[in-house]
């Protein structure tokens, strides 16, 4: 019953920004890598970004230079700052945790991000 609780999704215009949050437990946060996946209807699930317990990051080419993952160790929370959003960013975004390199042993419930005029 590992919990990963996302928040912050919503509707935004192209070029806009959103910040997603993912709150989890200390045991998960300190022992496993964290990441964000997304899935749009009709598309494969995509790893957006992952972060090791030491803070090293990898971004998908599609979001590099636009999205930023960060963490608040005191709150056991990871964030995804999404800037310059495009319609193709529309998807359900999932906070994940787990073993490197897939970082998908545990999943949050997902939060919808819609980018549309």
pLDDT tens by residue, 89-99: 999 999 999 99
- Assigned token pair, 113: 């991000």
93 close to 78: Cβ distance less than 8 angstroms: no
Q: What pLDDT is attached to residue 49?
A: 98
d(CA 25, CA 4): 8
| HEC sequence for 71-90 | EECCCCEEEEEECCCCHHHC
**Over the stretch 65-83, which tens digit does the pLDDT of each residue have?**
999 999 999 999 999 999 9
Q: What pLDDT is attached to residue 2?
A: 83
My answer on whether omega of the bond before 61 falls inside 30° of 0, hence cis, is no
Ranges under pLDDT 50 in the chain: none
90 close to 113: Cβ distance less than 8 angstroms: yes
Q: Measuring CA to CA, which residue among 35, 83, 37, 75 is closest to residue 55? A: 35
């Amino acid at each position: 019953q590992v919990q990963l609780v996302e928040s912050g999704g919503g509707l935004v215009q192209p070029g806009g920004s959103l910040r997603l949050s993912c709150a989890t437990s200390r045991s998960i946060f300190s022992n496993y890598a964290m990441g964000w996946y997304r899935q749009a209807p009709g598309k494969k699930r995509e790893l957006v970004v992952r972060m090791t317990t030491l803070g090293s990051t990898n971004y998908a080419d599609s979001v590099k230079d636009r999205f930023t993952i960060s963490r608040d160790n005191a709150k056991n929370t990871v964030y995804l700052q999404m800037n310059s959003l495009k319609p193709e960013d529309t998807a359900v975004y999932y906070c994940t945790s787990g073993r490197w390199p897939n970082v998908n042993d545990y999943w949050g419930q997902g939060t919808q991000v819609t980018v549309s005029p």
